[in-house]
């Protein structure tokens, strides 16, 4: 109780000095909010640890020098966050909605509804919170130019439908339209098998009896890569030896590919989306269009 009284006293002091027009000290509690700040040229003073990496995802490590680790996405350190004296806290209601009342006592707190989906809308929510709507829209305009260019190129190639799954410890998850990958592939004009052409996040504990539903022109899979990785790899290999898997046309045509779980599934941020788009030409044997350039904005002084 004494700890929380101390924290609340500190919070009240901090809140009296907040300036929302241009926050200088931002704490990010999800990777997508961290990536949003980095994309806008703002380095957070604190951020939750990446789910993979030590402590950051490899694709953001070089931009996170000096950033304080404030715990994990599902269990941030409230006292440490308060000690950083942030002007603004960003995160996700889906991950941390239960903590918003105490976080708002530390600093104004902006949460997106669900950081696993609607990455473009979430990015603009974060951009609005730091008064960077123009820069945020410029970033998305650049990315959408890339998406439109790739959409045209993909329409000319023979692989039209895409299946997406992830191997977790002891289970398979099948992804649907309202996921990071689902939104990217839909924007690129790629179709999904009927069981995946559904407006939902995905199906966990996907059974082997449903393997036939995975057939498509091309199948991408991710592999959970933090804890219990060895058991996950063993489960994946057993799943792929199943007779139903071997009978899939996509398997027979050797159109099954492993994808980076961080970039294509776990990060959910604007920087991950940019990297994923840059990989599309190689994945589909397309020429690299000149429009597929970097959308980086200059770092803030």
The reported pLDDT for the residue numbered 142 is 92
The reported pLDDT for the residue numbered 1 is 36
The CATH architecture annotation of domain 2-14+23-139 reads 3-Layer(aba) Sandwich (3.40)
- Report the distance separating Cα 282 and Cα 198, nearest Å: 27
- Secondary structure string (H, E, C) spanning 45-98: CEECCCCCCCCCCCCCHHHCCCCEECEECCEECHHHHHHCCCCEEEEEHHHHHH
13 falls in which pLDDT band (50, 70, 90)? very low
164 falls in which pLDDT band (50, 70, 90)? very high
Average pLDDT value for residue range 93-97: 90
Q: Is the pLDDT confidence value at 298 over 80? A: no
The reported pLDDT for the residue numbered 226 is 60
Where do the CATH 3.40.50.1980 domains begin and end in the chain? Answer: 2-14+23-139, 158-259
167 falls in which pLDDT band (50, 70, 90)? very high
- Angle between helix axes 133-154 and 270-283 (nearest 10 degrees) is 20
The reported pLDDT for the residue numbered 301 is 44
Chain segment 46-94, per-residue pLDDT in tens? 999 998 889 999 999 999 999 999 999 999 999 999 999 999 999 999 8
The reported pLDDT for the residue numbered 3 is 44
The reported pLDDT for the residue numbered 288 is 78
What percentage of the chain exceeds 90 in pLDDT? 77
Q: Is the pLDDT confidence value at 20 over 60? A: no
Would the pTM of this model clear 0.95, i.e. be above it? no
Mean pLDDT of the chain: 89
Burial pattern 105-114, b for ≥16 Cβ within 10 A else e, equals: bbbbbbbbee
The CATH architecture annotation of domain 158-259 reads 3-Layer(aba) Sandwich (3.40)
Cβ-Cβ contacts under 8 Å for 261 (sequence gap 6 or more): 52, 166, 222, 223, 224, 225
Chain segment 271-291, per-residue pLDDT in tens? 999 999 999 999 998 887 766
Name the more confident of 52 and 105.
Answer: 105
Q: What angle is formed at CA 73 by the lines to CA 85 and CA 100, rounded to 5 degrees?
A: 55
Name the more confident of 288 and 234.
Answer: 234
Average pLDDT value for residue range 9-19: 41
Number of C-beta neighbours around residue 135 at 10 A: 17
């Amino acid at each position: 109780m004494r700890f929380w009284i101390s924290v609340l006293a500190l919070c009240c002091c901090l809140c009296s000095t907040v300036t929302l027009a241009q926050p200088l000290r931002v704490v990010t509690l999800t990777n997508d909010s961290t990536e949003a700040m980095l994309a806008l040229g703002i380095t957070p003073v604190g951020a939750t640890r990446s789910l993979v990496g030590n402590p950051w995802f490899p694709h953001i490590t070089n931009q996170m020098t000096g950033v304080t680790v404030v715990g994990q996405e599902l269990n941030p350190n409230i006292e440490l966050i308060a000690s950083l004296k942030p002007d603004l806290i960003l995160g996700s209601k889906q991950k941390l909605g239960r903590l918003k009342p105490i976080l708002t006592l530390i600093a104004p707190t902006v949460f997106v509804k669900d950081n696993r989906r609607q990455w473009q809308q979430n990015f603009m929510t974060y951009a609005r919170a730091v008064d960077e709507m123009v820069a945020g829209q410029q970033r998305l305009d650049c990315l959408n130019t890339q998406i439109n260019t790739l959409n045209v190129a993909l329409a000319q190639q023979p692989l039209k439908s895409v299946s997406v799954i992830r191997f977790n410890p002891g289970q398979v998850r099948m992804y649907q339209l309202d996921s990071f990958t689902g939104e990217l592939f839909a924007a690129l004009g790629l179709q999904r098998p009927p069981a995946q052409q559904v407006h939902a996040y995905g199906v966990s504990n996907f059974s082997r009896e449903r393997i036939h539903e995975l057939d498509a022109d091309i199948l991408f899979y991710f592999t959970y890569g933090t804890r219990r990785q060895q058991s996950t790899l063993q489960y994946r290999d057993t799943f792929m030896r199943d007779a139903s898997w071997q009978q899939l046309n996509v398997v027979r045509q050797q159109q099954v590919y492993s994808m980076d779980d961080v970039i294509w599934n776990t990060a959910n941020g604007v920087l991950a989306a940019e990297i994923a788009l840059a990989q599309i030409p190689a994945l589909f044997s397309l020429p690299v269009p000149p429009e597929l350039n970097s959308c980086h904005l200059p770092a803030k002084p």
